[in-house]
Amino acid sequence: MQELASGTVVDAVLRSSRALVAIAARSLAEVTDDVTLPQYRAIVVLCVRGPIAMRELADELACSASTATRLCDRLVAKGLVDRAPREGNRREVEVRATALGVDLVAAVTARRRAELEQIVEAMDPQQRPALVDALSAFAAAAGEAPDQAWAIGWDL
């Protein structure tokens, strides 16, 4: 099999990422117009990781602690996350998704899944296994947890 130049691969991933971002934005907009993509990403991180320290959230979002704090201020006001002093170290703040935040992620994920299913159905069925392999490898290299590694609907 012929090896592709990394630029060719990157170009294909960029095209795909534009499509995926558009799907994510549409899915979020269909559920709520009150949450931005960065805010939504923070809630997703909290759903994946569970309760974490504010500094860990900032690291996950690749932003400063003050930016994460302001983002969480907005999410707390919307009832989508809670924060409290961390048990065992009251100087640290722990952040977690609320039931409302978990429900939001579930609703947006359902809409995204429906749109993605339509796109996959439009693909040649013989190309689907290669797509699964490639996207699974890409997600693993990016450090994303597989869907089965986190479940929406746990008790908060």
pLDDT tens figures, 111-139: 999 999 999 999 999 999 999 999 999 99
Contacts by residues 76-85 (CB-CB < 8 Å, ≥ 24 positions apart): 78/34, 78/35, 80/35, 80/39, 80/43, 80/104, 81/42, 81/43, 81/46, 83/54
Short-list 119, 142, 110, CA closest to 19: 119
Whether the full predicted model's pTM is greater than 0.75, yes or no, is yes
| Cα–Cα distance measured from residue 54 to residue 14, given in angstroms and rounded to the nearest whole number | 30
Q: Confidence class of residue 5 from pLDDT cuts 50, 70 and 90? A: confident
The values of phi and psi at residue 91, to 5°, are -80, -20
Short-list 77, 100, 81, CA closest to 31: 100
* pLDDT (mean) for 132-151: 78
Starting at the edge strand found earlier in the chain, the sheet holding 52-53 runs: 52-53, 89-97, 81-86
Q: Across 46-50, 96-100, 151-155, which has the greatest mean pLDDT?
A: 96-100
| Cα–Cα distance measured from residue 40 to residue 107, given in angstroms and rounded to the nearest whole number | 12
Residue 35 pLDDT greater than 50, yes or no: yes
**What is the structure's pLDDT at 146?**
66
Short-list 2, 4, 1, 80, CA closest to 36: 80
